[in-house]
Structure 1
Amino acid sequence: MATTTAAVLAGDTAKRRGRSTGPRRSAATRGDWIVGYTMVAPVVLGSLAFVIVPLVTVFWYSLHDWNVLANTFTFAGGENYERMLSDEGLHDSLLASLWFSIGLVVLNITLALFLAVMLNQKLPGTTTFRTFFFSPVVVSLVAWTIVWSFLLQADGGINGFLDLLGIQGPNWLRGDFTAMLAVIVVQVFKNVGMNMILFLAALQGVPEELMEAARIDGARAWRRFWSITVPMISPTILLVSILTIVGSLEVFAQIDVLTQGGPGNSTTVLVYYLYQQAFQFNDFGYASAVSVLLFIIVLILTLLQWQTRKRWVFNEN
């Protein structure tokens, strides 16, 4: 009898405890949800205010004929997009953007990887060497470009140095090919330091045991680089490639300061052409359509790189 009574009392106590802890658990759960939503709210609201809403607004503007000076805003449907099909200036800007992107990606990534490999050798003076190439990253973009504009003049510092070597330098900013080359080089030296640091961090994560095993097996330095180093740092190569390609499609200040899109349309990249349509010709509707095109191009390139990563990214977690 005593045993039965104790069991009943124990059961009643357990039920009371269950009823008492239930609301506490619910309150704790609600508190966790509130804290979680509070933490993510700034990011969500920021994305809505500065990404989603502007994208929708730009697409809406692209469906209109909007001239600020004439104070007209009329619905045009797909006329702006049809206009892009026959716009020679847009076609030239796409071609200029293509050449600029190819030159920037090849030179920037190649030079950054080479510099990182050299720094990873831990040779004397590496700190000074690293500072020299990274310092342009923190320099004002406009100030950096203005200095280069003086160096690239017909009587500038670069041609002055070439004269000492007995070489007649061109007017770098007045030829179609040399102007594009000059803009690419200026951009490469501005940002190569950041990619160099990213590659250096990746190289320092390559296991020394693998390299030592390859040396014992007789693999030469070039074979070790292609068969071990490159696969091990392939995630960083993917990251740098995406950042460099997206950055190449958003270049503006260098073009505006150095060439203003010239000579002709040889350096009028897509972003600068968009600027011309909006702020020089006051055709904001067509400029919005061009910006939608730019967004689609960046999105497609990013998705392609991300989807093809499985074929050449070997160390992805």
Structure 2
Amino acid sequence: MPDRTTWWTASRRDHLVGYAFVAPQLLGSLLFVFLPLGLVLYYSLHEWNVLADTFEFVGGENYRQLLADPNVPKVLGATALFSVGLVVFNLSLAMLLAVLLNQRLRGTVVFRTLFFSPVVVSLVAWTIVWGFLLQSNGGVNALLQTVGVEGPNWLRTGTGAMVSVIGVQVFKNVGLNMVLFLAALQGVPKELYEAARMDGAGAWTRFARITLPMISPTVLLTSIITVAGSLQVFAQIAVLTQGGPGTSTTVLVYYLYQQAFQFHHFGYGATLSVLLFVIVLALTVLQWRMRRRWVFLEA
């Protein structure tokens, strides 16, 4: 019989402690990530009619329908337009606010709180309020009338609806990226700026040659989070435009919801979920692999 003290070594104790610490996260990932992914793949190979109480295996029929669906190119186009607009304006505005609030000026704490406060506000409440403000007789057009501008019906025109949805989402989450950029900016050594000033470098040169390279890991993080989040937007579309006018704001997640929960095509909805997963995964991997080209100190 083996000696218990010989088997129960310090190395084994360390391994068991490590497994105990990662077990909750591992169990959560299995139950709430990998199991749902497996079920979505399984459902995408079936046609599930809840009303008729039928569940039939159809193989690749849902994927053939995906390739032949005339609405899919329009939906992907709207999704790409929304994602690009959100990512560009969100990151640009967050960077600008972070740079401004990083200055040693009076009242910066108040403005930091003001810009971050929408992040903690309920998403649905935030969207409903903006829905009232963006109506033809809402607060936005009333503000424009004070300067002699006749505002459009923002949520009933294709371009206006997309701009409105992007704007609402930008102002909702820009504070989060702002705080991340601000934390990164405060970690940049001041000696680098002092040396650059002594060499005659201007403000833009210091920003491009010192600030951006030093905070590039944070830029990578925020870009991955923002791109992934932009592809999963739902509540804003559902509350503000319901995908309209026409399909101008019908992004992929909302189209998935329509197919699965409005038209009860659960198999096809699962297939659209697989498409969304592939797109998010591909873009995340692409950004991660490109980090070697523009992230500072990445080999």
> Are the equivalent residues in 1 in contact too, given 2:291–2:298 (CA < 8 A)?
no
Listed as ranges, the matches of 1:97-246 within 5 Å are 97-246=79-228
Give the alignment's TM-score, normalised by structure 1: 0.91
* Gap runs ≥5 in structure 2: none
Structure 2 residue aligned with 1:24 = 5
- More divergent stretch after superposition (66-75 vs 180-189): 66-75
Partners of 2:246 and 2:104 lie apart in 1 by: 47
Shift of 1:316: 4.6
* Gap runs ≥5 in structure 1: 1-21
> Are the equivalent residues in 2 in contact too, given 1:234–1:315 (CA < 8 A)?
no
2:47 aligns to what SS in structure 1? Answer: strand
1:74 aligns to what SS in structure 2? Answer: strand
Partners of 2:234 and 2:264 lie apart in 1 by: 18
Question: What is the RMSD computed on CA atoms of the aligned residues?
Answer: 1.4
Q: Which has the larger radius of gyration?
A: 1
1:304 aligns to what SS in structure 2? Answer: helix
Partners of 1:121 and 1:171 lie apart in 2 by: 39
1:209-258 CA distance string (max 9 Å, x none): 11111100001000110011001100000000000000000100000000
* Amino acid across the alignment from 1:269: V
* Amino acid across the alignment from 2:21: M
2:150 aligns to what SS in structure 1? Answer: coil
Structure 2 residue aligned with 1:249 = 231
Shift of 1:65: 1.2
Partners of 1:196 and 1:315 lie apart in 2 by: 23
* Amino acid across the alignment from 2:7: S
Partners of 1:84 and 1:56 lie apart in 2 by: 19
Q: Is 1:260 the counterpart of 2:242 in the alignment?
A: yes
Equivalent pairs counted in the alignment come to: 297
Structure 2 residue aligned with 1:43 = 25
Q: Is 1:68 the counterpart of 2:50 in the alignment?
A: yes
Q: Percent of pairs identical after alignment? A: 66
* Amino acid across the alignment from 1:131: T
* Amino acid across the alignment from 1:189: F
Partners of 2:87 and 2:288 lie apart in 1 by: 17
Give the alignment's TM-score, normalised by structure 2: 0.97
Shift of 1:35: 2.3
> Are the equivalent residues in 2 in contact too, given 1:135–1:193 (CA < 8 A)?
yes
Structure 2 residue aligned with 1:15 = none
Shift of 1:25: 4.8
